[in-house]
Structure 1
Amino acid sequence: MTVEAGSVGDSTKSRVDYTVNSFRDSKDDWKDNAVHEIVIVHTGNSASNDPESQDVVVREKLNRSLSPRHVNMIAVAGVIGTGLFLSTAKSLSAGGPGSLLINYVIMGGVIYLTMLSLGEMSTFMPISGSYCAYSRKFVSESYCFALMCNLWYSDAVSVASDLTALQLVLDYWKTDNHHFPYWAASLLFWVLVLGLNVVHVRLYGEAEYWLAMLKVVAVVIFFIMAIIANCGHNPQHEYIGFKNWSHGDAPFVNGFQGFVTIFVSSSFSYGGTETVTLTGGEAKNPVRNTPKVIKTVFWRILLFYVFTMFFVGMDVPYDYPNLKTKSLLTSPFTIVYQMAGTKGAGSFMNAVIMTSAISACNHALFGGSRILYNMGLEGFLPFSRFFTKTNRYKAPYVAVITTWAVGGLCFGASFIGAGQLFSWLQNIVGVSNQISWLSIAVISIRFRKGLEAQGKIQELKFRNWTYPYGPWFCIIFVSLIILVQGWSAFDPWNTSNFFSFYLELIVFPVCWIFWWFIKRDRFKRAKDMDFVTDKYVQSEEELLLNERLNSLKGLSRVRQAISDYFL
């Protein structure tokens, strides 16, 4: 097959005949479906003389048009979603304010460790498949297949859960004389997010930027409103302080069972934080921008989750009416706004939550479509080439439409009840997120083992300072919470809740065994791991730009930081 060379810095362009070894062996029935779009980059005249100057193979042709401000705000959008605004209600009701705060602090720590591991790999090899693509390179092909199925399934179901959440939000404005057809709203926004994901990726980035900005402003205003309401500007006109921490069974409602139940909700809320690396294949200058985003994760967790849970637990009692029912979830954010202001203030916050649901749906569709695109690229699907088709904007429209179609599950809310359906979908997605974080830790350990065996540690541009203790802690701790968090399904026994908590523990190994049965592949040996294909080599222009930006000091550095986020 003849392919054209790409260019890196002063790389020599040439046309070469390159015979691609299929990702499948001769026994593979899907061998002819593997996608062989390979770009060879010759770096004989590279800007540097380090080991990176060897030939690099790149297989992706997506549009690398997301600017630093887009990548930064997509990271924020992944943090602030329906999980934060709505799942908090279920968590507060189930465990009380003490369990809520401690649980989110613990899971925040897990996320921070996970992102350090992921940042190390995605800076070295920024591709849109992110850790799923890494799992094939550094673990095994069958593990990669299972992980990709898990993540795509999670994102696709998230599209449905976010559209279901939209119906819950609209229920806030329901009156006896007016019943809005919620299915129509879901249909409208379902079509909207499709449109945003099949056009130029920059339009997606721009939409996420402004939706994320609105959410950030709403959270900051929430902090102010929470303090005002706590100090006495509330319907009772009394100082609240920490009264809700000693109200009834608070601060630890339902004991240990209540505490562990929150893990799946907090995992649903934190889900999406890691998907910022899915933009790796479409982000400019990833060697500089990816580490910058990763390093801000700690502060985003502290600001948007820990502080938020603290204020929610202070102002809203765990037994507040309608905090959690099968048909309705009332957001603690809306409650606080209403306490500190008027019905109009509550409506404003509810409107923000509605846009948040749209943003979260948009975010999930973007992530899921990129995973499905990469499954096609890896030859994991029948008619793999079909799923890698891109339009004139270089958007993988077939993968987008396929992922988008799963969002039709949201219309089941009309029969099951939006609150009940949202709860089930939340549990499924939460466990799927946990499996992803556990897998990132496993892949990180394998990645380092390979670099050490091949003497390439010095090529890392960004290092995980917690290695090896951080990844091992994530593996052990996340494994434990996956097993114990479904306690509430056993006492009393609830079949539907049991399956929502543990369905993923069946799906993931079945996918792994299924692909192993087809391929009979083995774990990658450290010395055989591929650190050439898809490795990112900086151009001469990027090297000079990064050198200049890193040398900035004082006001110049502040101006550049503002530019990265807002311009």
Structure 2
Amino acid sequence: MSSSSLASPKGTPKVPDVEYDAAGPATAADDLPPGTLPAPPEDKHHSLHRGLSARQVSMIAIAGTIGTGLFLGTGRSLAQGGPASMLICYAIVGFIVYITLLLLGEMATQYPVAGSFNAYATRFFSPSYGFALSWNYWFNDAVSVASDLTAAQIVLEFWTNWNPWVISLLFWVFLVCVNGTHVSAYGELEYWLSFLKVTTIVVFIIVGILVNVGVNTEHQYIGGKYWHIPGAPFVGGFGGFAKVFVTASFAFGGTESLGITAGETKNPSRNMPRVVKFVFWRIILFYLLSILLIGLNVPWDYPNLSNKTTTTSPFTIVFKEIGSNVAASFMNTVILTSVLSAGNHALFAGTRVLYGLAVTSPQPQAPRIFGWTTKAGIPVPALLATSSVSILCFGSSFIGSGQLWSWLQNIVGVSNQIAWVSIGLASWRFRSAWVRQGRPLSELKFRAAWTWHWGPPFVVITTSALIIIQGWSSVIPHFSGVDFVSFYIEIPIMIVMYLIWLFVNRIPVIKSKLADIAGANDEVPPSPSTSTVALAPRRVRWFDLVDTSTVDLFKYEHHDSVDDLIEDQERERRLKGRSRWLWQLYYYMA
């Protein structure tokens, strides 16, 4: 367990209302209570609203992770790597993501802003890298919607093969309409969809144990038999083992998006640490137990488990093993709702990333139109732009749903890994700046103390290694151009985007230097000595690493509002009352 220190809101004086204009607060800082900083300006009619509770944020993080990666991706992992490779790879990636989640939690609690880790990479590491990362992650979310719509077609093949493009279109319209509602309505829908998924996984774990001990159509004890069939437990050697990493990364992708919800989370000082500490333990519990039971109950060479035309969910296979088609149909229905929930979550996250790009200060990184919101706080232009990319899913009608989903899964998985590396880099620089500027660690609202010295480099190094080795099978023993591109296309895209933004920001600098040189040449006759003196200090720097000694650590720092303080007081009152044990159970579960 991580040790953390949380800033206590108790005893904080009530902050008076402050009027803001374009230049800043109209109320002088002297009018505020001692030690209190004015909150950043907020236009409630043209910005995101803090309408998500801790209960909803927790379930949103689960919803974005427990979806196609678990219900369908495990079938591909089992077919490509075998039961042992799948269990080991998911455990390794799970631990990496847990450390990443702690690093993100520190920054998201201190600075709960729109754009999340993209904004942190821009602020603490490099603006050009943050620009490339933000656009890459937006593309990741947009492709995830396409991936989930394609997965919906695969799930529906359990019942029918009727016009998959029509089904994708209907689901696309549904997702756009849901994301066009108020954020609290979205959060409530995701909460109950996630609750259904969590309940189903608990049922699956029970059923999986029963199937393994003999409650199956063959009435035979299975045990570890499928770990000893030809080819198992490690299918495809090292290449098969390496392949599973990208599938596992696709499956665990979404946990980092809890930081994206930070800008719309109530009382982030209290709720974000709770979300970080509890959500992932629930996820890792569900994943590892489910994956162990899948490897025990489903052989890696099960017919149509994963091929170019289709992918079969191991969850449905296990439910079929108890001899009930009704149970299998129920499981498939839950998988379908999970796929839609994951697509809904990806569309929400992508929309917020694009919104964050448009409102980045001092210089927006996307057209300002994407920063426009309705009075309900819905960034409609960003929503429409993100949802339009999901047209990719319609390509499944021509190349096969299974093959398309496999490619999209690779792209999204690698993009998730790049996001984790970026969180590590941002945290590395953030912690360095905090120490270098002499701010006491006690001022951190949340701190994973046991990861303080090794956490960021561990995430950066291990995830970078995964990105490099997981495409092994696309090169050895035979080179596959399409697979190689799906594994590594994100890397050159990131480099190109980085250079574009760096060059765009350097154009005014270059023009200024050229003007200075021209002015100097007008005043002084050119000579070798004067030319050297004039040109030497005007060299343009082609990198923009943030200086940790000067970065502003107070900008956008969260300060509890009156509503936050009231909520904390109500919580403390409940935990001291007669029903405190019931409230403790409620807060732990919710």
Structure-1-length-normalised TM-score: 0.90
| Change in 2 beyond 3 A, CA 1:41/1:223 | farther
Once the two structures are superposed, the pairs formed by residues 4-23 of structure 1 within 5 Å of their partners are 9-16=14-21, 18=23
1:258 CA displacement = 1.1
User: Could you tell me how far 1:39 is from its partner in structure 2?
Assistant: 7.4
Q: Any idea what SS the aligned residue of 1:529 has?
A: coil
Work out the number of aligned pairs and report it: 532
Distance 1:15 1:429, change over 3 A: closer
> Paired residue for 2:398?
415
Q: Which residue of 1 aligns with 2:428?
A: 445
Bigger drift between 54-63 and 224-233 goes to: 54-63
User: One-letter code of the match for 1:324?
Assistant: S
| Distance (Å, rounded) in 1 between the aligned partners of 2:27 and 2:585 | 32
Q: Identity of counterpart residues, as a percentage?
A: 46
**1:400-426 Cα deviation digits (max 9, x unpaired):** 110001111100000110000000000
- Does the alignment pair 1:485 with 2:470? yes
The residue aligned with 1:542 is 564
Q: Classify the secondary structure of the residue corresponding to 1:57.
A: coil
The correspondence for 1:463, drawn from 423, 447, 450, is 447
Q: Residue 417 of structure 2: which of 429, 434, 437 is its match?
A: 434
Alpha carbons 1:285, 1:542 under 8 Å: kept: yes
Counterparts of 1:540 and 1:425 in 2: how far apart (Å)? 45
Query: Which one of 66, 73, 76 corresponds to residue 90 of structure 1?
Result: 76
Q: Which residue of 2 aligns with 1:391?
A: 374
Please tell me whether residue 367 in structure 1 is matched to residue 353 in structure 2: no
Distance 1:103 1:43, change over 3 A: farther
2:549 is paired with a residue whose SS is helix
Q: Deviations over 1:61-106 (max 9, x none)?
A: 2111112211111121122010110010110011111111011110
- CA shift, 1:533, in A, is 2.6
Q: CA deviation at 1:251?
A: 1.1
Question: Are the equivalent residues in 2 in contact too, given 1:72–1:565 (CA < 8 A)?
Answer: no
Match of residue 140, structure 2, among 147, 154, 166: 154
Which residue in 2 is equivalent to 1:191? Answer: 173
Specify the code of the residue in structure 2 equivalent to 1:411.
F
In structure 1, how many angstroms separate the alpha carbons of the residues matched to 2:302 and 2:25?
Answer: 58
- 2:95 and 2:303 map into 1 onto residues whose CA distance is 32
Q: Flag the 1:310–1:41 CA change in 2: closer, same or farther, 3 A.
A: farther
Contact residue 18 and residue 25 of structure 2 kept, 8 A: no
Whether the 8 Å contact between 2:103 and 2:448 is mirrored in structure 1 is: yes
Residues 354 and 541 (structure 1 numbering): CA distance in 2 closer, same or farther, change over 3 Å? closer
1:115 aligns with 2:137: no
Give 1:503's aligned residue: 489
Maintained 8 Å contact 1:58/1:535: no
Partner in structure 2 of residue 23 of structure 1:
none
Q: Which amino acid aligns with 2:553?
A: F
Output the CA distance in 1 between the equivalents of 2:310 and 2:96.
30
Aligned partner of 1:433: which letter? N
Tell me the distance in 2 between the aligned counterparts of 1:461 and 1:305: 30
Q: Distance in 2 between matches of 1:406 and 1:565?
A: 36
Within 2, Cα distance between the matches of 1:560 and 1:265? Answer: 37
Q: Report Cα offsets for 1:85-140 as digits up to 9, x if no partner.
A: 00101100111111110111100100100000000000001112111111121112
Bigger Rg, which one: 2
Q: Name the counterpart of 2:535.
A: none
Aligned with 1:221 (options 186, 203, 226): 203
Q: How far apart, in 1, do the equivalents of 2:585 and 2:109 lie? A: 19
Q: 1:145-187 CA deviation, whole Å, 9 max, x = no partner? A: 011011101000000000000000011113xxxx411111111
Instruction: Show the counterpart of 1:27.
Output: none
Are the structure 2 counterparts of residues 416 and 539 from structure 1 closer, same or farther at C-alpha, using a change threshold of 3 Å? Answer: same
- Whether 1:233 and 2:215 are equivalent positions in the alignment is yes
Decide whether the 8 Å contact of 1:101 with 1:310 is kept in 2: yes
Q: How does 1:319-334 map to 2 (within 5 A)?
A: 319-334=301-316
Partner Cα separation in structure 2 for residue 385 and residue 529 of structure 1: 25
**Correspondence for 1:140:** 126
Q: Is the 8 A contact 2:106 2:447 kept in 1?
A: yes
State the secondary structure of the residue aligned to 1:350. helix
Match of 1:267 in 2: 249
- Residue from 301, 324, 331 that aligns with 2:283: 301
Aligned equivalent of 2:583: 559
Letter in 2 for 1:106: I
1:541 shift after superposition: 4.6
Structure 1 portions without partners, runs of 5+: 1-7, 19-37
User: Judging changes above 3 Å, is the alpha-carbon distance between structure 1 residues 186 and 76 closer, same or farther for their aligned structure 2 residues?
Assistant: same
Whole-Å Cα distance in 2 between the matches of residues 69 and 345 of structure 1?
30
Q: 1:278–1:228: structure 2 CA closer, same or farther, 3 Å change rule?
A: same
> SS in structure 2 opposite 1:172?
coil
Give the match for residue 552 of structure 2: 530
Question: Structure 1 CA distance, aligned partners of 2:552 and 2:19?
Answer: 23
Contact persistence 1:165–1:422 (CA under 8 A)? yes
* Helix, strand or coil at the partner of 2:59: helix
- Measure how far apart 1:257 and its partner are: 1.2
Q: State the shift of 1:532 in Å.
A: 2.7
In 1, the alpha carbon distance for the partners of 2:25 and 2:154 equals 47
Structure 1 residue aligned with 2:458: 473
TM superposition shift of 1:468: 2.2
Which amino acid counterpart does residue 442 of structure 2 have in structure 1?
Q
Q: Secondary structure at the match of 1:526?
A: coil
In structure 2, how many angstroms separate the alpha carbons of the residues matched to 1:385 and 1:411? 30
1:329-388 deviation digits (Å, cap 9, x = unpaired): 000000001102411111111111100110000000000000000111124456x22111
- Identify unmatched segments of 5+ residues in structure 2: 1-12, 507-542
Contact 2:52 2:265 in 1 (8 A): yes
Residues 133 and 557 (structure 1), Cα distance of their counterparts in 2 relative to 1, 3 Å cut: farther
The alpha-carbon distance between structure 1 residues 118 and 263, as it changes in their structure 2 partners (threshold 3 A), is same
Deviations 1:16-66 (A, max 9, x none): 551xxxxxxxxxxxxxxxxxxx7788765657x44xx23443567211111
Contact 1:101 1:309 in 2 (8 A): yes
Alignment partner, residue 29 of structure 1: none
**Which residue of the partner structure matches residue 71 of structure 1?**
57
Q: Secondary structure at the match of 1:180?
A: coil
Counterpart residue type for residue 14 of structure 1: E
Distance 1:17 1:381, change over 3 A: closer
Per the alignment, in what secondary structure is the counterpart of residue 495 of structure 2? helix
Output the amino acid matched with 1:556: R
